[in-house]
Each structure stands twice: as structure tokens, then as C-alpha cells.
Chains A and B, each alone.
Chain A
Amino acid sequence: MKRQAFKTSQAPHIPSTATVGQVMRQVLYALIPGILLQIVFFGPGVLVQIALATGFALGFEALMLRMRERSIARFLGDGSAVVTAVLFALCIPPLAPWWISAVAMLMAIVVAKHLYGGLGQNVFNPAMIGYVVVLISFPKYLTRWQAPADLSTHSLSLNETLAAILHGALPVGVSWDSITQATPLDTLKTGMHAGESLPEIMLSPVFGQFGGMGWEWVAAAYLAGGLYLLARRIITWQVPVSALGVVAAVTLPFWLLDPVTHVSPAQHLFSGALMLGAFFIATDPVSGCTSNLGRLWFGLGVGLITLVIRQWGGYPDGVAFAVLLMNMAAPLIDRYTRPRAYGT
């Protein structure tokens, strides 16, 4: 009988079907509703920023892969740099100058990611590193948010948006003051500092039904996207539930006791970057905790630190700082939250 020779290999012999690229693409799909609403409320600048950041991120990624002698084809296609870029772009004002993206992506991709060893090795969330660096360095540009469409006196066309981003030039008769506005969290912070009561502050048109005007719907869309990721099992429930849960749980009793001086839980959840952060940023597996119990603590920390910064800090929102601080704590949390092995 004819003898046949075969290839040898190691079990398991059924190949796994998931890929890193697929995971990253799912994250991008889940962001789409939020991105669309953000464009609706804040203009085409959102899209321009995404394009800019993505371009810079991919450029830096390719450069670093080349310098580190890694396969550009394999790693550029994994989508991780694109996710970093898009998350960053969604955090910055849509009319921020183009070089903001360049600086942020340099910090995110070159420093936070590749200098730490590339994909899977970064201690900090690269998008948040990029964001925090430009937020601290160029506060003027990073706080210049446009008023949402419904409140704006002048909505910029795509060409006007491009001119603003690339040259800092606005159309004749339009000044930065006339198109930008304090964000809801800004308004709250300055109002509270000025000693106004909440009902007075809330009279400001920047507030909507339950969160910030416009912001609330963007946040709701991120919530929907996050639920999609949960359903597709790209993320687990622990981080978003504990992050959002702790914010709700801490703010609820204060608000119930005294709604005149305390902001409502809904206002907290649906303004700023909390929803985006809880589902898309704090769930970054690389820089987060690995065990389920650890993820609960991680989310708890993100929620609490965000609240503390919103209440007492120098910045209106604190999600980025909270995520980075918890990134630092993640290895320690992991150490103390190892799951119990079978039979031990």
C-alpha cells in the first residue's frame, strides 16, 4: 500500500477565526453612530479631524514600524493606529488647527506606543496620551468648542471648516467668539465657582433634555455603540458598568438630597466624554486590567477620578486623566485580582 507522509504541527488543529484587525474594525463600526451625530451637531470639522489624525497616525505608525524593522503590511493593517486616531479626533474641538493632530499623534503613536514596544506593550492608552499632551500644552485650542448646531448663529461649510483648520482663518464677519461657546461642563464649573445655584445655571441654552445640548445625543449614540460591542463580545461589561455605575451611584444621593447644589446623575453621564470613555477608551484591553474583577476596579477608578476632577479639579472634564491614572494602577490591580485557578 502506498505510504503517505504528512505535515506535522501542534494542537489545536482548528484555526482560530478572530483577528486583531477584526476586533479593531468592530470598534470602529461601533463608533459610527456617535461620529455621525457629532457631525450633525458640530459640523464637518469632526470628519476633517478624523481624516487628519488617521493620516498622521498611519504615517507615524509606518515610520516606526520601518525603524523597528517590523512588517508594515501586517501591522499597519491591524487597525490599532486608526482606532487611536479616531478616538483622539472625537475628543478635540472640530476646528482645532491641523498641527494639534500632528503633535498628538506623534506623542500617541511614536512615544506612548512604539517607544514602549509597539502593539500590546503600551502602558498608557495612546489616544489619551496624545489628547492630554495637547490639552495641557495648547489649552487655548483645545477648549474652543463650537456651539452645537441648534445654538450656533453661523454654521461653517466644509470649505470654511477646512480654511479654519488649515489656516486658522474664519469667514469674513465671523469671529471665534461668535461660533464657539462654553461646553455644558464648562458652564457648570464656572457657574458653580461663581456661586450660582444649579437651577440658574441650567437656564443656559447649552443644556438639553438630560445632558448638554447636542452632547446628550452624541453620548447616547456612544452608549448604543458600546452596547453593540458588548453584544459582539468585543468588550466585557465590567468596565463600562462599574465606571458609569459609580458615577450614578455617587451623584444620585447628593442630587436627591439637594438638587439645587448638586448636578444630576443623568447630567454627569450624558455630558463630556464619560460615555465615550466608559465604552471605548477605558475598555482598551492593552492598557487596562485583564481579570474580570480587576476590570470592575478599573472602571470604578475611572468613574471616581472623573467625578473628582469634574468637582474639584482645574479641568471641566477628567476622563482622559482618569484613564491614564488607572492605566498606571492596572498592573497592581491585576496582581491582586487574579482569578482563582481550578482546584486551588
Chain B
Amino acid sequence: MSVPHDAGAPGGRLLHRLRGGLRLRHHKQVSCARPVERPALPDVLIVPLQQHLGLPAQALVQAGDRVLKGQRLGEVDCSGGVSVHAPTSGTVRAIEHRPMSHPSGRSGPCVVIEPDGQDRWCEPSPVTDWQTRQPRDLLDALCAAGVVGLGGAVFPTHQKASLGRVRGTRTLLLNGAECEPYISCDEMLMREEPHRVIEGARVLQRACGAEHVILAIEDQMGAVFDALQQAVGEATDIELVKVPAIYPEGGERQLIQVLTGQEVPADGLPADLGILVQNVGTAAAVADAVIRGRPLIERYVTVTGHGVVEPRNLLALIGTPVSHLVHHCGGYRGDADRLVVGGPMMGFTLRSDSEPVVKASNCLLVLSADDLRAPQPEMPCIRCGECARVCPAGLLPQQLQWQVRTGQWEAAADHHLRACIECGCCDFVCPSHIPLAAWFRHGKGQLKAQARERAAADHARERFDARAARVERQKQEKRERLAAKKKALRERSAAKKKTPVSTEEVRR
């Protein structure tokens, strides 16, 4: 049902319509006006051992150890996660549980490093002949360099690429359509270092076996398009596409729909369509990891919002406390009220600015009381349907919120609650101020927990059934053995009767 509505790139790719979505005020110029800076080293760096989806890394260092910049602090098997590295040289002060800028607010083991101020690198180990090496080697290098998806999901990049390779990826889709308001770290990266992004694209292309690359940016990114075009040069297998700035067009599934008109199956992955999606920041990290042999220890972070004196983008070391970055941007304004990691639509709040920047932290948004206004009281749903109109997943939020509130999990699952991408569009337009996105996050968590329980129960039942079958089989075998024995005995005695010779002999 998607209707082409715009010819995007000069190449003239026909774009398709996103379902629902919102045109939001983007507030990006606030942080794009100043050049990117690298703040001074902080007094302390807090590096969580788990900054990726999967299993936490196991510490390789101890308190008191001296570490070099780029040295591995923790590692985990590549099937479970990625390594974690020292963002600068210095001394490990402790390995302890600390809050780690996670949406859940939870704490986890972190390596606390006191920098020595020399910022001394360990020996880099680049894959110099990456253009001719086996993809397997490139994937291993990514795992060793701790590369994860920097768009927010922090899924290990080598796992995603590896799956893409197995499933036959034709298109590598680089996502530069940073659609949430305020966030501009990807835009600044593409503006400042387009070559690094394109290099990363080439490495990823080799790693996953894609025939061609599409790099999608928003149509309001101005100078970015020209910078990228220059970096692409004469290459014909990299296509630059501008997509209209509609939130949440930068969502993986939404972007695929806009670019191809296809929908990723609800229970499937982009790999099912032969597409591998990576964030442009991830691509830059991939280039560093493979070509320069440098692990992922820093990233572009947008520090913005009306609660910050000088909003700008920073090239921040992973583990830098949030307070240090805000201080570099002139500190807080008087009415700073809320500290959000991520954008205003999907970000989560931090209780304290002592928490570190991690691989997932794309933006620190400090909202002032002015941005927030007094919270409006929640009213009953009047079923106006605005939420359904803007839902990019084609759901009926007004129905779902009712089911989630009353715990009708089967009905909610039947109404495709799992397909909710938590973009918050429904919340934003609701005249009754129902916290829909929060309800849906809760509901999805419940469905997941139930699925886990069901899986555990199924597993237990299977084991029980298998045991019962085994016991039954053993009994059966025993019976058969017994029967065979009896039969043999009977046959033997019958044979004795049938052989008169022997009886006669006996008689004799």
C-alpha cells in the first residue's frame, strides 16, 4: 500500500511512504552550530564491562594494574558479546558495581580508571590487507575491537554481519537518518569525517558480502550530502539517498519500508529481505577497528537542550562522566530539570550526572522546566484514534493500552503488541495524556517474561516426556528381552523334546 511520493537522490530512487509518523521540530541546529571538540581528560573514567546486548565481558585487569589506551579490559566469547577497552592510559582504581547509564537504571561491574594524563596507546593491530582477507577475519577483528551498533541497540556488529553473511545479504544499508529531535552526532560525524564512514562501509560490505551500499540521510542535513558525495567519489555501488525528515523514519524497519517499499516480517529480520542495516557511527567504528586497529573507545556525543549553556557535539571517551561533558559545554542553565540519554521521544532519564557515557550514549539532552511544562492530568481515552493514525507499526494503541492495563496479554499479543517500536508517537498526540509508550514498554516486558516462562515450562515438559518415554522404552526393552529369553528357553526345551535321540540317550 506504500505510495511513492518523492524522488530522493539525483539517482532518482523512488521512495515509499512511511505509515504514520510525525513531523517534529528537529532542534538540531542548536548543537550543530559549534564545531566538534574533544574535551580534556576527566579525573576518572568508568567503563562498564557490559555495553552490548549479550553476556557481560569478564575483567582481564585488577585494581592497581596500569593500562594503556586501547588495552583490553574485559573479554567474552565472540558468540556472546564483545570486548571492552581502556579509553586512555592510567591506573585501574577499582572494579566495582556502579550505575552504568542503562535504561533500566541498573548497576553493573565497571572498571574505574584514573588517567595518567599521557594518553599512551598500546600497539595497534590493524588488518592491513583487509581487502583480500577472509570475511571471518574481519568479523573477528570487530569482535576483538568491541564494535557494537552505535544507533542505540548496541547489538554486536560482528554477530549481525555474520548473520547477514549466512543469510545472503545483497544490500548494506547505512542508516544516517537520525530522526529524533535534538540528536546530531551522526550528522556531525558525516560532516566532519565522511571518509571514515565510507571506509567503514567498504569493510562492512566485504564482511557481509553485500553487492551494494545505500547510505540514507535526512533531507534537512544540508552540507552532509555534498561531503559524503565527495567521499564516495566515482564509486557506483554506493548510493546516497535523502529521505524526508519524518519521525521515526530512522527506525530500521521504517527506513527499509521507505527505501524499498517492503516490510520486514513481524517475526523476522531485515536479513530476510537480504538487507543489513548499520548505523553510520558504527561504520566509522568499523573502519577504525579494522583499518587502523583501534578499538571502540570514543564516540560522537551530542550535548544539547535548553538546559545546557553551550550545546555542541563532543568526541567523548567511553566512560567519561556525564557531568564532565556538560561542564565542557559551559555547564547547566539555572532551570535544567531533566537529564535524558538519547532523544526526547525515546530517551531515558538519568538520576545523576555522575554516570558514564557508554557505547550506546548518542545524546545527552538537558531539558529545562520550560521544555517540559506542567504535566497534564491523565484523562480517560476518548478513542479519537489519533494514536492509530500516527502509529508507524500500524497498531491500535487505544485498544492495546486497554488490554495492557487490564492484563489481557493474549489479546495484546493478538493485536501485535510485540510489533510496537516504542517510538512514542501515540503518546505525543494523545489528547488524554495517557502514557501509552510507558504502558507498551511494560506490556512488551510482560510478554517477553511470559514467553521465557513458557519456554522454560515447555523445556521442563519435554524433559519429563523424554524421561517418561525413556523409562517406558527401557521397560519395553526389558519385557522384550524377557520374552526373548522365555522364547529361547521354550524353544530349547521344545527342541529337547523333539530330539528323541537325545531322550533315548537319556533313557539309556
Q: Are A and B interaction partners?
A: yes
A residues within 8 Å of B by Cβ?
A: 1-16, 18-20, 22-23, 71, 74-75, 78, 80, 118-121, 236, 285-286, 288, 290-291, 334, 338-344
Contact of A236 (CB < 8 Å), options: B324, B351, B380, B385 = B385
Nearest CB of chain B from residue A219's CB, rounded to whole Å? 25
Question: Is B431 at the interface (CB under 8 A from chain A)?
Answer: yes
By beta carbon, the residue of chain A nearest B387 is A290
By beta carbon, the residue of chain A nearest B397 is A290
A20 B379 Cβ-Cβ under 8 A: yes
By beta carbon, the residue of chain B nearest A15 is B373
Contact of B388 (CB < 8 Å), options: A1, A15, A288, A290 = A290
B429 A13 Cβ-Cβ under 8 A: no
Contact of B350 (CB < 8 Å), options: A6, A121, A344 = A6
Question: Is B239 at the interface (CB under 8 A from chain A)?
Answer: no
Question: Is B213 at the interface (CB under 8 A from chain A)?
Answer: no
A19 B346 Cβ-Cβ under 8 A: no
Main SS class of interface, B: loop
Main SS class of interface, A: loop
Q: List 15 A-B contacts (CB under 8 A).
A: A1-B324, A3-B354, A6-B338, A6-B353, A11-B424, A15-B433, A19-B431, A19-B433, A118-B380, A120-B380, A288-B383, A290-B383, A341-B419, A342-B392, A343-B419
A286 B427 Cβ-Cβ under 8 A: no
- Residues of A within 8 Å of B382, CB to CB, are 20, 23, 80, 119-120, 285-286
Contact of B344 (CB < 8 Å), options: A13, A119, A286, A291 = A13
B349 A9 Cβ-Cβ under 8 A: yes
A12 B266 Cβ-Cβ under 8 A: no
Within 8 A of A (CB), among B229-282: 253, 257, 263-268
Question: Is B115 at the interface (CB under 8 A from chain A)?
Answer: no
Nearest CB of chain B from residue A305's CB, rounded to whole Å? 22
B337 A290 Cβ-Cβ under 8 A: no
A13 to B305, CA, bound (A): 12
By beta carbon, the residue of chain A nearest B415 is A338
B376 A19 Cβ-Cβ under 8 A: yes
B376 A339 Cβ-Cβ under 8 A: no
- Residues of A within 8 Å of B430, CB to CB, are 16, 18
A343 B266 Cβ-Cβ under 8 A: yes
A15 B375 Cβ-Cβ under 8 A: yes
A16 B435 Cβ-Cβ under 8 A: no
Interface centre among A4, A23, A286, A341 (most CB of B within 10 A): A341
- Residues of A within 8 Å of B354, CB to CB, are 3
Question: Is B155 at the interface (CB under 8 A from chain A)?
Answer: no
Nearest CB of chain A from residue B296's CB, rounded to whole Å? 26
A18 to B385, CA, bound (A): 13
- Residues of A within 8 Å of B266, CB to CB, are 341-344
Within 8 A of A (CB), among B327-350: 327, 332, 336-340, 342, 344-350
